[in-house]
Structure 1
Amino acid sequence: MDAKRSPSRWLLREPVGDRPNRLFLFPYSGTGASIYHRWPRKTLTTEICLIQPPARERRIRDPHYGTYEELAKQVIENLLPYFDRPFGFFGHCGGALPGFATALELHRRGLPTPTCLFISSQVAPHDGPFGRYLHLDDDELREELCGFVRRLGGEPNAELIEVGLTTLKLDLEANRQYVFAGPVRLPGLLRTISWIEDVEILHNQMTGWPLYADTGRFHSTVLPGDHHEFLKAPAALLDALDDGMEQGRLAAMATRRAAIGAASR
């Protein structure tokens, strides 16, 4: 297999398959999979799989994906073998729309789709592009990156900040280009997560998402914490993810049973 197409390049670690569900995490804008270093490798029912897009961290020399649609195609091309059991996508803010785009591309191709899609701190596609970062200049983005590094417990390095700035700007441009005229329904469960102290994306700015799910398949959760609370993998978030994955798995099983029953009549 071509090294550029190797799943090991797309995942921070290889899945071991010891849980009934897999949850794939997309990184935040301008960052890579290592932002989830505080997260556990698994929950009670779900294995946590960290997606590593190109143009960052150990893939810094790989060309940027360009658009969310192109990223979705690359994710599917490389990770489809791991969608062999109930799986979900989670993304926060700039990581949420790539997860949605990938779920949509899977649906359009008639391939397995996420049993549950988790959207944290992001507006619905037809309500965007939206976000303070989209309007910051280079100096302001550098300051944001430095603050983010400190939040993770490090000290900013000027050279690495410049590398991160290049990636962040390309990620933000992908966000700007992702424009929807209206909602598109996905077959699985859709769960939004907002944060009480989040000043970047407010809970009432995420009200467009129910239009992307069938009746009874949407759920909204508000958790304590600010915009970056997700980095800590708080117990309340992990519980919400575990619950969504199990509910999604059970809903998918029920749908399959109904289809088999209808076909046998």
Structure 2
Amino acid sequence: MTVIGAGAWLPRQPSPAAAGRVFCLPHAGYGAGVFGKWPDRLSGIEFLPVELPGRLTRFGESMPDTFGELAHDMIDGLGRYLDVPFAFFGHCWSGLIAYDVTTQLQAADGPSPACLYVSSQVAPQDGPVGRMLDMDDAALTAELESTIRAQGKDPHPQLVAVCLAMLRADVELNRRYIVPEPLRVTCPITAIGWTDDDEVRPEQMAGWSMCGDTTFERFDGHHERFLDAPPELLEALCAGIRRSV
């Protein structure tokens, strides 16, 4: 297994003066750029987007076969930056990555996150779920083209083809993720649902209480409202860090 340095995982160098760090994991088919509207920091707490294999500067790398392998590699890459209070934020698909990173740190007696934040994702034992699991390549292509147009851009065929390969790999990774009995984490969990989410309803997230001590939050907005950096979400992410300081 190739160990990649933190420079590959983090587009922006962490500040040694940060009071805390929230590592932000992009959802399926996307890279760290989805957090482009997010501030670099809030009240001394950094928001650090994580670049996963197969995206942007890491196009030449393949995604690992399992979330567990991906979590292992991520810990190797980010370990030196877990020296201040930190948390993981994962939305939809990447909520499962955030959970696996947390359980692996716990199993290795490593540093514990101040909080695990999962948005729009069912608990590990309740999946896999997601409308993309049943889509063929033609349907996924249409989905990508629609998303690109919604961003005010033209879906260039070569770009769509590259994104399709990435999205398909992510979808298959989710399909293989089967967790009959979840490992409870020792850090608190905050499960975040969205009022207008038509992909994962907030009530579908109740199973997270089996994974650890869980607080349930519900914010206004649709499935991808997090992209707009809602103030209430950013404040919730910082709250867990502040409680641990």
Range of TM-score over shorter length: over 0.9
Q: Which residue of 1 aligns with 2:226?
A: 230
Deviation at 1:57, TM superposition (A): 1.2
Which of 153-162 and 82-91 deviates more? 153-162
Show the 5 A alignment for 1:148-187: 148-187=147-186
In the superposition, the TM-score normalised over structure 2's length comes to 0.95
The equivalent position to 1:242 in structure 2, one of 200, 220, 238, is 238
Question: What percentage of aligned pairs have identical amino acids?
Answer: 36
Q: Which residue of 2 aligns with 1:48?
A: 47
- Matched position secondary structure for 2:87: strand
Structure 2's unaligned 5+ residue stretches are: none
Contact 2:71–2:101 under 8 Å retained in 1: yes
Contact 2:92–2:120 under 8 Å retained in 1: yes
Q: 2:45 corresponds to which letter in structure 1? A: T
Show the 5 A alignment for 1:1-265: 5-214=4-213, 218-247=214-243, 249-250=244-245
- Once residues 141 and 148 of structure 2 are traced to their aligned partners in structure 1, the CA distance between those partners, rounded to angstroms, is 11
- Matched position secondary structure for 1:220: strand
- Once residues 151 and 86 of structure 2 are traced to their aligned partners in structure 1, the CA distance between those partners, rounded to angstroms, is 28
Contact 2:19–2:85 under 8 Å retained in 1: yes
Deviation at 1:96, TM superposition (A): 0.8
- Once residues 94 and 153 of structure 2 are traced to their aligned partners in structure 1, the CA distance between those partners, rounded to angstroms, is 22
Q: Residues 148-194 of structure 1, C-alpha deviation per residue, up to 9 Å, x if partnerless?
A: 22334433221111111111111111111111112221111100111
Contact 2:3–2:73 under 8 Å retained in 1: no
- Matched position secondary structure for 2:8: helix
- Once residues 46 and 147 of structure 1 are traced to their aligned partners in structure 2, the CA distance between those partners, rounded to angstroms, is 35
Q: 2:113 corresponds to which letter in structure 1? A: P
What is the root-mean-square deviation in Å for CA atoms of aligned residues?
Answer: 1.4
CA shift in 2, pair 1:197/1:58, >3 Å: same
- Matched position secondary structure for 1:206: helix
In the superposition, the TM-score normalised over structure 1's length comes to 0.88
Deviation at 1:143, TM superposition (A): 1.5
Contact 2:3–2:76 under 8 Å retained in 1: no
- Once residues 224 and 128 of structure 2 are traced to their aligned partners in structure 1, the CA distance between those partners, rounded to angstroms, is 20
- Once residues 101 and 152 of structure 2 are traced to their aligned partners in structure 1, the CA distance between those partners, rounded to angstroms, is 31
Number of aligned residues:
244
Structure 1's unaligned 5+ residue stretches are: 251-265
Deviation at 1:5, TM superposition (A): 2.1
Rg larger in structure: 1
